[in-house]
Amino acid sequence: AQKVTQAQTEISVVEKEDVTLDCVYETRDTTYYLFWYKQPPSGELVFLIRRNSFDEQNEISGRYSWNFQKSTSSFNFTITASQVVDSAVYFCALSPITQGGSEKLVFGKGTKLTVNP
């Protein structure tokens, strides 16, 4: 069975601080995808990144960076120089990669980030 744990329920920071959102996952599958989504107050989940288990290279996109550590089953997300617009709920998710069939996207409970001016 798959499980995604986001231990931080809520985080509050002041603008321009760096913040890291933790994600730990469990899976018996050897190949899988990991995702991060952002859910602003408007409700829709906005796709941020997808990584596959083959590729442990860290990724940077502007102020966002992701640290994938297969050895510790973690896929942490860091926002550098946070801004008020980063305030949202962030979800980490896992999906196995298999041939054919319908695969579930399993979500963590989310971390609510509040960036104060």
Partner 1 sequence: ETGVTQTPRHLVMGMTNKKSLKCEQHLGHNAMYWYKQSAKKPLELMFVYNFKEQTENNSVPSRFSPECPNSSHLFLHLHTLQPEDSALYLCASSQDTQGRYGYTFGSGTRLTVV
Which residues are bridge partners to 10 per DSSP?
Answer: 112
Question: Which residues contact partner 1 by CB under 8 A?
Answer: 4, 33, 35, 37, 42-47, 50, 91, 95, 97-98, 101-110
Q: Compare residues 64 and 107 and give the one whose CB is closer to partner 1.
A: 107
Distance CA 97, CA 53 (A): 9
Which residues are bridge partners to 24 per DSSP?
Answer: 5, 74
**CB of residue 54 to partner 1, shortest distance in Å:** 13
**CB of residue 64 to partner 1, shortest distance in Å:** 16
* Concatenated DSSP letters of 18-43: -EEE--EEE-S-SSEEEEEEEE-TT-
**CB of residue 104 to partner 1, shortest distance in Å:** 5
Q: Compare residues 98 and 116 and give the one whose CB is closer to partner 1.
A: 98
Q: Compare residues 67 and 107 and give the one whose CB is closer to partner 1.
A: 107
User: φ and ψ at 70, to 5 degrees?
Assistant: -65, -35
Mention every residue, 6+ apart, whose C-beta is less than 8 A from residue 71.
none
Q: Which two tokens stand for residue 60?
A: 């940077």
**CB of residue 77 to partner 1, shortest distance in Å:** 16
Q: Compare residues 40 and 56 and give the one whose CB is closer to partner 1.
A: 40
